[in-house]
Amino acid sequence: MLHQAGIHHRTPARKERLIDQTSIGYDRPNIVEEARSGHVACNVWGWVCRHGMGDVYNIEGRFTAEKYIALLADRFLPSLRERNYLLFPGPIIFIHDGCPIHTAHAVRR
């Protein structure tokens, strides 16, 4: 029935939804296309180094500079210590995606 109405199994560029939820017919007049990707997103932060894979952390809610500082202090540095990566000589170099949170004044202090 959906195939006959021109709706095929795919990940649409536009999400289609029924206007009339009680309608048993999937006629085009009852369908509205919405411009959405259909993807679900979740925020994560992770790290890797030349010695191996690090950890990946789920970011709950909105990511702020304060949450980033807490993540670095409470999770990132302890995970480095657990793996003894702080014993290796040389600086820790951060490569980030340009998110303003990573370079906020509070973080740089």
**HSE (CB half, 13 Å, CA atoms) of 27?**
7
Q: What is the residue whose two structure tokens read 């995606």? A: 97
Spatial separation of the C-alpha atoms in residues 96 and 103, rounded to whole Å:
9
pLDDT tens, per residue, the chain with 109 residues: 455 555 555 555 555 554 555 655 666 666 666 666 667 778 889 988 877 888 999 998 889 999 999 999 999 989 988 888 777 777 777 788 888 998 899 988 8
DSSP element (H, E) containing 105? helix 105-108
pTM over 0.85: no
- Show Cβ contacts of residue 97 under 8 Å, excluding neighbours closer than 6 positions: none
Terminal-to-terminal C-alpha distance of the chain: 61
